[in-house]
Amino acid sequence: MLELRNIQFAYHPSTPVLRNISLTVTQGEFLAVIGRNGSGKTTLTRLIMALKKPTGGEILLHGRPAGHLTPADMARHIGYVFQNPDRQIFRDTVALEASYGPEQLGYSPQQTEALTREALAAVGLSSLTGAYPPSLSRGQKQRLAIASALTMKPAMLILDEPTSGQDARERERLAVLLTTLHQAGLTILLITHDMDLLAACAQRAIVMSQGEKVFDGPAASLFQDMDQLKKWGLTEPAVLSISRQLVPRGVTPTFSLEELTNSLINRLGRNRHAESSTTY
């Protein structure tokens, strides 16, 4: 649905920020863009959202050149959730905030209300429709920003560092929400430093380093080369670290919490069986 061809970009002509980035996002994918601070991840998404124009190369949306599209045009296809939800929340109640997009598109009050209700239910905020947005927790604000994007019925959602500033419970809730939205057919592109979130949700990983794309492949294969991972300034997910430490106890390295849990339950079961065999 989205294609970047040899994208170049510089804020100042003498300092290139993105060099020759090519990538294709297929409908229904869940991908994560990762890399050190300043590697160009946010800039890349600004270009996708038409908030900046590339200095070279071309962006295609649904197979058609998108160079003439404005940020408002792109927002109908791709929802963008900022790293800091306070930057995009400005209305007095949760329901009013989420209804901004459909109102701007000229939907009737009934359609706007239905889209808002559906989006707030999807993110688990139905009970807070009358709440004052600044009084929400960081995680709730993040989910409100996601709901606002969902009311536009986008084909794709881009989230910039969605777990930053959130506690473990909110991060876990967000991972479940994103997985559910993906299973419902939404294409998701995540910019993140949170390797646990990547491991929990993303199928494909793209690594940026100094403005270049240096890795593009299945998330699982990213963690096979630890030396390379360190060179890119990345760490492995906590589940993988824990499972590696349990290898002497018969656990296979994995970054899937479910696989690790199953493996431990199996080990426990086998140990119990061995113990009971010894007793009798």
Ligand X SMILES: Nc1ncnc2c1ncn2[C@@H]1O[C@H](COP(=O)(O)OP(=O)(O)OP(=O)(O)O)[C@@H](O)[C@H]1O
Q: Which is nearer to ligand X, 10 or 246 (CB)?
A: 10
* Shortest Å, Cβ 16 to ligand X: 10
**Tokens coding 197:** 């979130």
* Shortest Å, Cβ 39 to ligand X: 4
**Which residues neighbour 41 within 8 Å (Cβ) at sequence distance 6 or greater?**
33, 34, 35, 160, 191, 208
Contact letters (x/-) for ligand X, 201-240, by CB under 6 A? Answer: ----------------------------------------
| d(C-alpha 67, C-alpha 54), whole Å | 9
Cβ–Cβ < 8 Å for 140, 86: no
Q: Does 14 engage in binding with ligand X (CB under 6 A)?
A: no
| d(C-alpha 31, C-alpha 112), whole Å | 30
- Of these, 2, 4, 17, 207, which contacts ligand X (CB under 6 A)? 17
Beta carbons within 10 angstroms of residue 129's beta carbon: 16
Which residue bears the tokens 């990547």?
198
Q: Which is nearer to ligand X, 107 or 232 (CB)?
A: 232
* Shortest Å, Cβ 194 to ligand X: 11
Q: Considering only residues 22-81, where is the footprint of ligand X by CB under 6 A?
A: 35, 37-43
Q: Which is nearer to ligand X, 136 or 208 (CB)?
A: 208
Tally helices (H) and strands (E) across the chain: 12, 10
* Shortest Å, Cβ 78 to ligand X: 17
At 258, the amino acid letter reads E
- Binding residues (CB under 6 A) for ligand X: these are 11, 17, 35, 37-43
